[in-house]
């Protein structure tokens, strides 16, 4: 059977846990186009503190009738986009309306921030960063803007910078749900990698504290329920009761928002733990249907499709991911496995080679390259010298794989078995080659 085993992760399935870092939570877990605080009844523009635990205050400013009119118009546009769906055009249009407000009154920190948030909705990161920085130029301790910049740092791969930003934002506003959720997300990633039981327990305690604090502020935050559910999926192999808790939390999340794509991705992972593969695939596909740009869910559909030998479907999912993330290692290797399954051997080899060049520290591409040479090239060759050459290449890749960090016991056992079989085959081939050479001499 053609296989893709994500041996380098702790998850035996190799599936991705995409709850992700969400833009909508940057202003405290809400997608409202205003900052928390007391609202001026005439203008509808908030003032006062940004949250109960926030130290900084919104600066005092005079608000003209024109500013009030522009602000209300921008808020109405935001609400319409929330209802109808955010497109690139909508994000830019809503953001520009808030920029107009800020140009009319540069001290209106809410306008700068909401413009950044609107740009961020559609991953217009440069524009979003610009508006968040303008927010901080007016009010240097604006927790939402700091959290938004941290998110952009995360999206750019600067995890340490993102963590520092969210920690700072949380200190400024203890009720900032987005920052707490994002920190819990980072801790969950670390928890999956740790081998230390003491560290696992410490992370688990912090995750539960952050998520419980988030729910205390916003009991309807679907993302918090999903993260909590994902947390309880961890360790379920040792304690099956955690699966019941995970399901309970995911059910609560679904009551809040049944169309939240990461919820269905998490349900897929839950079904995987329950060994219900068909239901898992259905859930992953639902997540993609709800959010076609949800790459983690697409990768999970692709990996599941490989298991069901639906290679064409898998290839389509991995290709979609690579349109947006051309350097996504999992998608590159997955596409190679799908191509291999469809008999496109040369294309598969190019994919594995591309993955090796992208990240030589990871082992999946080496393992699958070994499989390619052993089961798909050497087995079809008839000339002894070529067969031996292909088997030797397979050996090299398998041995390189074993030298990579994070190789599991199962991976090592599989690979050791393959190496043993290849070495026995090579020994027999050397004997055959020797016999053929002797026969050739005798015929002279």
Residue 102 has pLDDT above 80, yes or no: yes
Domain containing 361 equals 1-14+294-408
Q: Are residues 9 and 35 in the same domain?
A: no
Tell whether 3 and 32 lie within a shared domain: no
Reported residue count of the chain is 444
Instruction: Tell me: do 55 and 3 sit in the same domain.
Output: no
Indicate whether 118 belongs to any domain.
Answer: yes
| Separation CA 395–CA 391 (nearest Å) | 6
- pLDDT at residue 60 in the model: 65
CA distances from 226 to 22, 156, 221, 257, 261 (A): 12, 24, 9, 11, 10
Q: Model confidence over 21-50: pLDDT tens digits?
A: 332 222 333 333 333 333 333 333 333 333
Instruction: Round to whole Å and give the CA distance between 274 and 289.
Output: 23
Domain end position, chosen among 138, 173, 208? 173
Domain with 149 in it: what CATH number? 1.25.40.10
Q: Indicate if 67 and 163 belong to the same structural domain.
A: yes
Burial label for 409, CB within 10 Å (0-12, 13-18, 19+), is: exposed
pLDDT digits 0-9 by tens, 167-201: 999 999 999 999 999 999 999 999 999 989 999 99
Residue 333 lies in a domain: yes
- Assess whether 100 and 3 both reside in one domain: no
301 and 399 together in one domain: yes
Q: What average pLDDT score do residues 251-277 get? A: 96
* Same domain flag for 96 and 5: no
Query: Do 323 and 306 reside in the same domain of the chain?
Result: yes
Residues 165 and 40 reside in one and the same domain: yes
- Write the pLDDT tens digit of every residue in 195-237: 899 999 999 999 999 999 999 999 999 999 999 999 999 999 8
Give yes or no: residues 9 and 82 share one domain: no
Residue 280 lies in a domain: no
Can you tell me the distance from the alpha carbon of 145 to that of 414, in angstroms, rounded to the nearest whole number? 49
Question: Span 355-366, mean pLDDT?
Answer: 96
Among residues 156, 173, 190, the one where a domain terminates is 173
Same domain, residue pair 6 and 31? no
Domain membership of residue 429 (yes or no) is no
* Last residue of one domain, picked from the residues 129, 144, 173: 173
Residue at 312 is within a domain: yes
pLDDT bucket at 7, cuts 50 / 70 / 90: very low
- Domain count for the chain: 2
Q: What is the mean pLDDT of residues 389-417?
A: 93
Task: Note whether 159 and 43 are same-domain residues.
Answer: yes
Closest CA to 370 of 342, 391, 348: 391
In a domain, 323, yes or no: yes
Per-residue pLDDT at 440: 75
């Amino acid at each position: 059977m053609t296989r893709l085993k994500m041996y380098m992760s702790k998850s035996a399935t190799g599936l991705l846990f995409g709850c992700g870092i969400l833009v909508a939570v940057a202003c405290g877990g809400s997608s409202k186009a205003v900052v928390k605080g007391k609202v001026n009844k005439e203008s509808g523009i908030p003032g006062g503190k940004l949250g109960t635990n926030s130290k900084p205050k919104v600066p005092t400013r005079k608000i003209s009738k024109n500013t009030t009119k522009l602000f209300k118009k921008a808020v109405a546009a935001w609400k319409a986009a929330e209802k109808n769906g955010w497109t690139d055009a909508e994000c830019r249009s809503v953001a520009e309306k808030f920029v107009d407000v800020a140009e009319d009154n540069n001290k209106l920190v809410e306008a700068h921030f909401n413009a950044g948030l609107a740009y961020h909705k559609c991953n217009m990161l440069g524009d979003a960063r610009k508006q968040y920085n303008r927010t901080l130029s007016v009010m240097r301790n604006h927790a939402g803007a700091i959290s938004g910049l941290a998110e952009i740092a995360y999206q750019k791969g600067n995890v340490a910078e993102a963590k520092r930003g969210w920690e700072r934002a949380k200190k400024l506003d203890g009720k900032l749900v987005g920052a707490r959720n994002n920190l819990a997300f980072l801790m969950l990633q670390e928890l999956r990698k740790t081998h230390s039981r003491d560290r696992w327990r410490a992370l688990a305690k912090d995750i539960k504290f952050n998520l419980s604090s988030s729910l205390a502020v916003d009991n309807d935050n679907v993302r918090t329920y999903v993260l909590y559910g994902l947390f309880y999926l961890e360790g379920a192999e040792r304690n099956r009761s955690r699966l019941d808790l995970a399901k309970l939390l995911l059910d609560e999340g679904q009551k809040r928002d049944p169309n939240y794509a990461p919820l269905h991705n998490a349900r897929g992972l839950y079904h995987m733990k329950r060994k219900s593969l068909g239901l898992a695939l259905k859930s992953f596909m639902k997540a993609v249907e709800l959010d076609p740009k949800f790459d983690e869910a697409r990768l999970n559909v692709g990996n599941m499709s490989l298991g069901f030998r639906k290679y064409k479907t898998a290839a389509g999912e991995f290709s979609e991911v690579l349109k947006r993330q051309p350097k996504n290692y999992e998608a590159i290797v997955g596409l190679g496995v799908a191509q291999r399954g469809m008999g496109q051997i040369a294309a598969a080899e190019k994919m594995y080679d591309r993955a090796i060049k992208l990240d030589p520290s990871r082992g999946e591409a080496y393992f699958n390259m070994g499989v390619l040479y052993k089961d798909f090239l050497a087995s079809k060759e008839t000339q002894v010298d070529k067969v031996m050459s292909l088997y030797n290449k397979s050996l090299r890749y398998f041995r390189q794989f074993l030298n990579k960090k994070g190789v599991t016991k199962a991976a090592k056992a599989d690979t050791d078995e393959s190496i043993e079989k290849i070495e026995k085959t090579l020994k027999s081939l050397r004997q055959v080659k020797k016999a053929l050479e002797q026969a050739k001499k005798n015929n002279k």
